[in-house]
Amino acid sequence: MVQPAEPTISKLAARARRVIPGGVNSAQRQVPGLEDLVITATHGATFTDDRGRTFTDYHAAFGPPLLGHNDPDVDRAVAEAGARLDNMGVGVSPIEIELAEKLVQHVPSIERVLLTMTGSEATFHAVRLARAVTGRRYLIKFQGCYHGWHDAVAMNVISSADHVGQKDLLSAGIVPEVADATLVLPFNDAAAVQRALEEHAGDVAAIILEPIPHNIGAVLPAPGFLERLRDLATQHATVLIFDEVITGFRHGLGGYQQAAGVTPDLTTLGKAMANGWPISALGGKAELMDQFNTTPGRPAFFAGTFNGHPAMAAAALATINKLETEPVHEHVFRLGERIRSGLREVLPEFGLPTVVSGFGSVFVTYFVDGPVQRYDDLVANDADLFTGYRRAQMADGIFELPLNLKRSHVSYAHTDADVDRLLEATRRALRRVLRDRKDHQA
């Protein structure tokens, strides 16, 4: 009898496209040139695709696996907690309590904390809480910052040059009144924030920002900018929200707010919090957080079937435990610094305008003249070169996401030898792409 042919693994991407719109489960995974990428395994600093190619991974799923993929201690904690305790949907579990205590202990702004699954849920609830507490309408966000997919914030991240300075919605279907209630300002421009607060006096509920806008690589806050925002928010009784979904845990157990010495009113956490398992958090001042209706009779609604899932909370606790007891930050900061300084040595060879930026374990190379202080400074980035050299690096088994302005990350599982290979592959990839460009122009 003739056996039906086994569907070959290379048909997986085609199968995906038949049943999953676009073939991927997040628009950010739709990367030109990588439409057929099917990932079959992750391990430490690497991932493997369905063609058997293994890459050293600097994309790191946009940042969660700070310890490396499939950290055995974290994964064991998930399995053990999951086998003992499923999601109950009533009451609270000891694991959730322990995790909340850890977050209160470590993050300066957090006196009380609630758990969500995703970062978008955390920022959604932060904005809703600010509006519920202040009774005000407006939200200030900054061009280049991303805070998730919900209507109040889904705008003005990587805008084309002609959309900077205008409302640039990420999606159709956003009610205009909701979009109008968000004011978009340039990062590092405290005077613009002051003007907006004065123009809408008594009606700005919150200022939300990534303290380092990592959704456009790594634009560092200018000295005094975060402090000035803190002062302005206090002066205008506006809620200051640090969205530390990327920076939290990755830049330190206390988030970037601890390094910066500026304490917001509310903080959102996610991504690296559980090394890749889906859990996020919203925490902050008790007087604000206690206005959620998890305390009966309070005005801000908060609910979620999977909130505080014990197995996910266990992943976060195991991650935090490792960050507390092992030199994780020391390692990733050292490698991050080696990469940034190595790139600064390699890049001048090419005689191009370049700016190497980053913080701690995060790095990015922009092809622009510096300095880079706000999104406008990145509009001129050579996106073809930025994405082109990253695609070329794949031939050397290196993966940095080939999407314009996206940052790269190192984890505890990366080694010094990985850094050497990355720098060499960057040099080779740039040579190849620039040579091809020259041939093409000739």
**Active site residue ranges:** 146, 243, 271
Q: Which of 46, 134, 188, 215 binds ligand PLP (CB under 6 A)?
A: 215
Considering only residues 57, 151, 210, 265, which one is a binding residue for ligand PLP as defined by CB under 6 A?
Answer: 210
Site size for ligand PLP (CB under 6 A): 15
Interacting residues with ligand PLP between 337 and 376 (CB under 6 A): none
Which strands make up the sheet holding 280-284, listed edge to edge?
112-116, 280-284, 266-269, 239-244, 204-209, 138-142, 182-185
Q: Which of 174, 218, 245, 410 binds ligand PLP (CB under 6 A)?
A: 245
Distance of CA 295 to CAs 115, 131, 264, 361, Å?
Answer: 15, 18, 22, 38
Q: State yes or no: residue 267 binds ligand PLP (CB under 6 A).
A: no
| Residue pointed to by tokens 């955390």 | 122
| Contact range with ligand PLP by CB under 6 A, out of 85-93, 99-107, 243-251, 363-371 | 243-251
DSSP of 244-261, one letter per residue? ETTTTTTS-TTHHHHHHT
Q: Are 314 and 95 in contact (CB under 8 A)?
A: yes
How much of the chain is helix, strand and coil, in % rounded to 5? 45, 15, 40
Does residue 119 interact with ligand PLP by CB under 6 A?
yes
User: Which is closer to ligand PLP, CB of 112 or CB of 407?
Assistant: 407
Q: Which window, 46-54, 118-126, 171-179, 186-194, contacts ligand PLP (CB under 6 A)?
A: 118-126
Q: Exposed, middle or buried by CB within 10 Å (0-12, 13-18, 19+), for 21?
A: exposed
Tokens representing 370 are: 């510096």
* Span of 201-209, 241-249, 301-309, 392-400 interacting with ligand PLP by CB under 6 A: 241-249
Backbone angles phi, psi at 399, to 5 degrees: -125, 110
Judged by beta carbon, residue 134 or residue 280, the one nearer ligand PLP is 280
Our CB check for ligand PLP shows the closer of 144 and 402 to be: 144
Residue 6 CA to its chain's centroid (Å): 39
Q: Residue 17 Cβ, how far from ligand PLP at the closest point, in Å?
A: 23
In the complex, what is the shortest distance from the CB of residue 126 to ligand PLP, in angstroms, rounded to a whole number?
Answer: 10
For residue 120, state whether it binds ligand PLP (rule: CB under 6 A).
yes
Q: Cα angle at 117 between 138 and 37, to 5 degrees?
A: 105
Of 206 and 425, which has the nearer Cβ to ligand PLP? 206
- Least separation in angstroms between CB 122 and ligand PLP: 7
- Determine, following the binding rule CB under 6 A, whether residue 403 of this chain makes contact with ligand PLP: no
Binding to ligand PLP by residue 408, rule CB under 6 A? no
DSSP assignments along 190-225, one per residue: HHHHHHHHHHTTT-EEEEEE-SS-GGGS--PPPTTH
Q: Determine if 248 is a binding residue for ligand PLP (CB under 6 A).
A: no
Q: Which of 44, 144, 270, 283 binds ligand PLP (CB under 6 A)?
A: 270
64 interacts with ligand PLP by CB under 6 A: no
Nearer to ligand PLP, 127 or 332 (CB): 127
Beta bridge mates, 398: 56
Measured in whole angstroms, the distance separating CA 129 from the mean position of its chain's CA atoms is 22
> Quick one: which of 49, 57, 243, 400 contacts ligand PLP (CB under 6 A)?
243
Site membership for ligand PLP, residue 398 (CB under 6 A): no
Assess 378 for contact with ligand PLP (CB under 6 A): no
Site for ligand PLP in 128-147 (CB under 6 A): 146-147
Q: Under the criterion CB under 6 A, does residue 151 sit at the interface with ligand PLP? A: no
Q: Which is nearer to ligand PLP, 178 or 423 (CB)?
A: 178
- Could you tell me the strand order of the sheet in which 54-57 lies? 39-43, 46-49, 54-57, 398-399
148 binds ligand PLP (CB under 6 A): yes
- Cβ 16 vs Cβ 23: under 8 Å: yes
201-228 burial: b if 16+ Cβ within 10 Å, else e: eeebbbbbbbbbbbbbbbbbbeeebbeb
Whether 182 and 139 have beta carbons less than 8 Å apart is answered as yes
Give bridge partners of residue 182 from the DSSP assignment.
Answer: 139
**Residue 6's CB: how many other CB atoms inside 10 A?**
7
Q: Which stretch binds ligand PLP (CB under 6 A): 71-79, 162-170, 238-246, 388-396?
A: 238-246
CA 294 from centre of chain: 28
- The residue whose Cβ lies closest to ligand PLP is 119
Contacting residues toward ligand PLP, per CB under 6 A: 62, 118-120, 123, 146-148, 210, 215, 243, 245-246, 270, 280
